[in-house]
Structure 1
């Protein structure tokens, strides 16, 4: 996963209960002075390699991307799960691999909620956080939204077959079978490209019975799903960040047109977005056409929109 723009390495960092795996992309041609740094956080059943396309689109920028506990290289880390536990793990990665100074937080899906939680904790006690986080780029996640009723067609034809929890309970013969699962997924109708393919291969682990399974712990996924809206630390993060007009202007929400099964509308409907604009004037919102919850980080125009938001947050720090 090394692009011409970056040198990639995989490292470990001490966290509560063990060691977390972190992907680090160092720029091949860093600018003079401190290297601008982004900490990117993946979704609920994903891993850091799903963010490799975004990293490649940020020349001159260091990208730090941990595997959340209970997933991929951090799968051996057990409870506690939830937004605060993940935020503390992410902070450990930032402390280990970022130079002193400001770091931009980027979160996809569940990672957006973790990023918002960490930004709120940093606002509570910036000295304890050691780094001041500048800007939040939230990709199809990270701001509260009311649960949307499951449509009958989705439940009957799609969600039972391709929903995250169903996949976590399945056994596969190997990488080809696992990739075939995603090729049949409606969100990957355009194909499974190199970034997604590498991320999925990395996700696959031996099950001890001669087969393979997804690395994400079902316990972790359920705990995190329950914690997204019930977590007091996430709610405080939203309150602290969005109540400050200056900090609110540094929040950039990027939303996909389609949802987890490529159905429209996406997770953030027009009504929800209009409500944000009324409640939080100045928040930046970009709607990316012809993308779904997953390929917003895989398609060229999706990555371009996400990278533009990150670079705008970094501003002149790129040198």
Structure 2
């Protein structure tokens, strides 16, 4: 028996309607239902969190498709962390208006979660009390470029002179190249991922369903990934040079109480399963010294993707989420 009932809805946002998946717990007890909002990565969609949802029995999970992706792919710009934070806020208002809601972000979703948490703190006490966390899964804290390009020491990504194309190539690599590719069949797209170094152990049901959901049909009956290249370029640049995220980071991490709400989980390996991960150990050490109240969890044996797919990764993520919810899950993934 499934732990949740799943349905998909559309929520009014600027420029159109945002697609939002909602998992309602089957065995919710009386009274308030704890609620989590999961925010996906730059070329992903909400279904990538389905494994984590199964590890959160009794918890409502709200999962928007960010504009320019998946079932929200026709939503126009502007893109960027502030725009996504506003969309996520609209989704939360539609399904959990009273809160509190624990924010969980993977990859770029972590930057969106941090932006929303920061904006809420500067808006007022009532808005700040609506959110818990954020729980950041291999994302949400500033990333270095130098260690990916091999071009010397870690660069400061808060540099307005950085070239967007260089940022994308350095951090996203093959994930960016994939967006311009066409696939004759769904099976061909799945074969592409089956050969990807991050999925050498095979594609499980969660990954398969997320990848199939990601595909958009073209007029010539072929398929392409749904993420808009324009959205990815704008978001990639804004993560590192935009003011909304930086101001939010300062608001959240500059206050000891809110900093203590942040949980940061990082994978051992990166997007192509190479070491170090997106967050090298020395950078994480620097962050623990800079933000000592933040909880940091090293999820060994995982890469940037399977931290949300493997039992090890899901267990770690579920424990972190439950810690922010103040609940203990009955069980993890079986």
Which TM bucket (shorter chain)? over 0.9
1:169 matched to which residue of 2?
180
Q: State the secondary structure of the residue aligned to 2:326.
A: helix
2:228 matched to which residue of 1?
217
Aligned-residue offset at 1:150:
3.3
TM alignment of 1:193-272, pairs within 5 A: 193-272=204-283
Structure 1 unmatched runs, 5+: 153-157
State which of 77, 80, 90 in structure 1 corresponds to 2:78. 80
8 Å contact 1:10–1:24 — kept in the other structure? Answer: yes
Spell out, residue by residue over 1:218-274, the C-alpha distance to the aligned partner (whole angstroms, 9 max, x if none). 000010001001111101111111111111111000000000000001011111111
Q: For residues 70 and 131 of structure 1, what CA distance do their matches in structure 2 show? A: 29
Number of corresponding residues: 313
2:161 matched to which residue of 1?
none
8 Å contact 1:95–1:130 — kept in the other structure? Answer: no
Runs of 4+ in 1 over 6 A off after TM superposition: 158-162
TM-score normalised by length of structure 2: 0.89
Aligned-residue offset at 1:131:
6.0
Q: State the secondary structure of the residue aligned to 2:135.
A: strand
Spell out, residue by residue over 1:8-61, the C-alpha distance to the aligned partner (whole angstroms, 9 max, x if none). 001110000000000100000112211000000000000000011111110000
1:122 matched to which residue of 2?
120
8 Å contact 2:117–2:128 — kept in the other structure? Answer: no
TM-score normalised by length of structure 1: 0.93
Q: For residues 280 and 328 of structure 2, what CA distance do their matches in structure 1 show? A: 34
8 Å contact 1:105–1:136 — kept in the other structure? Answer: yes
